[in-house]
Amino acid sequence: QVQLVESGGGLVQAGESLRLSCAASGSFFSINRMGWYRQAPGNQRELVAVITSGGTTNYTDSVKGRFVISRDNAKNTVYLQMNSLKPEDTAGYYCNSRYQLRRWSRYLEVWGQGTLVTVSS
């Protein structure tokens, strides 16, 4: 099984930056896609950014040009660099990963516990 541990959330002012980290640990064959989602109070969880094992990225429109997702495959860690933060970025941010336990097994999905990002105006 894989466990995800996030860090890096906090309280910042609008225009400032934060960097989130998510480290995967446990026993697995490979990790495919890793990504970040967010959920604000009263809203559904939404995709922020994802990155494949090959480095292909995808972002939701509202963060393009401000957020950068990256990963260190050797450390099984994904990062989210958030720049020019806005109050509307305030949410719980959740790490997500798709992985295989064994070479030919089906892909499984796991979520982190979440880290809170609060942006004040």
- The CA angle 79-80-81, to the nearest 5 degrees, is 115
24/39 Cα distance (integer angstroms): 21
Q: 38, 93 in Cβ contact below 8 A? A: yes
Can you tell me which residue has the tokens 């109050």? 87
Tens of pLDDT, residue by residue over 66-77, are 999 999 999 999
Tens of pLDDT, residue by residue over 32-64, are 999 999 999 999 999 999 999 999 999 999 999
**pLDDT reported for residue 1:** 85
Tens of pLDDT, residue by residue over 12-24, are 999 999 999 999 9
From the list 25, 20, 34, 30, the residue with the least C-alpha distance to 4 is: 25
Can you tell me which residue has the tokens 């064994």? 102
